[in-house]
Chains A and B, each alone.
Chain A
Amino acid sequence: DQQVKQNSPSLSVQEGRISILNCDYTNSMFDYFLWYKKYPAEGPTFLISISSIKDKNEDGRFTVFLNKSAKHLSLHIVPSQPGDSAVYFCAAKWGAGSYQLTFGKGTKLSVIP
Chain B
Amino acid sequence: NAGVTQTPKFQVLKTGQSMTLQCAQDMNHNSMYWYRQDPGMGLRLIYYSASEGTTDKGEVPNGYNVSRLNKREFSLRLESAAPSQTSVYFCASSESRIQETQYFGPGTRLLVL
Contact = CB atoms under 8 A, between A and B. Distances in A.
Same assembly: yes
Interface of A: 4, 9, 32, 34, 36, 41-46, 49, 51, 89, 91, 93, 97-106
Given A42-B107, A43-B106, A103 B42 contact: yes
Contact of B43 (A32, A51, A89): A89
B90 interface: yes
Contact of A32 (B50, B98, B106): B98
A100 B42 contact: no
What bracket does the count of chain B residues touching chain A fall in? 20 to 34
B45 interface: yes
Contacts of B43: 44, 89, 91, 101, 103
B90 A99 contact: no
A36 B37 CA distance: 14
Given A41-B106, A41-B107, A43-B106, A104 B42 contact: yes
Interface string B88-113: 00101000011101111111000000
Interface in B1-33: 4, 31, 33
Interface string B30-49: 01010000001111110010
A81 B84 CA distance: 37
B87 to A, nearest CB: 14
B88 to A, nearest CB: 9
Given A100-B59, A103-B42, A43 B98 contact: no
B98 A44 contact: no
Which of B98, B103, B105 counts the most chain A CB atoms within 10 A?
A: B98
A41 B45 CA distance: 19
A89 B42 contact: yes
Task: List the 10 closest A-B pairs by CB distance, nearest first.
Answer: A103-B42, A43-B104, A46-B101, A103-B43, A99-B98, A44-B104, A93-B98, A105-B42, A99-B48, A43-B106
12 contacts: A34-B101, A41-B106, A41-B107, A43-B106, A44-B90, A49-B101, A93-B99, A97-B97, A99-B97, A100-B45, A100-B98, A101-B98
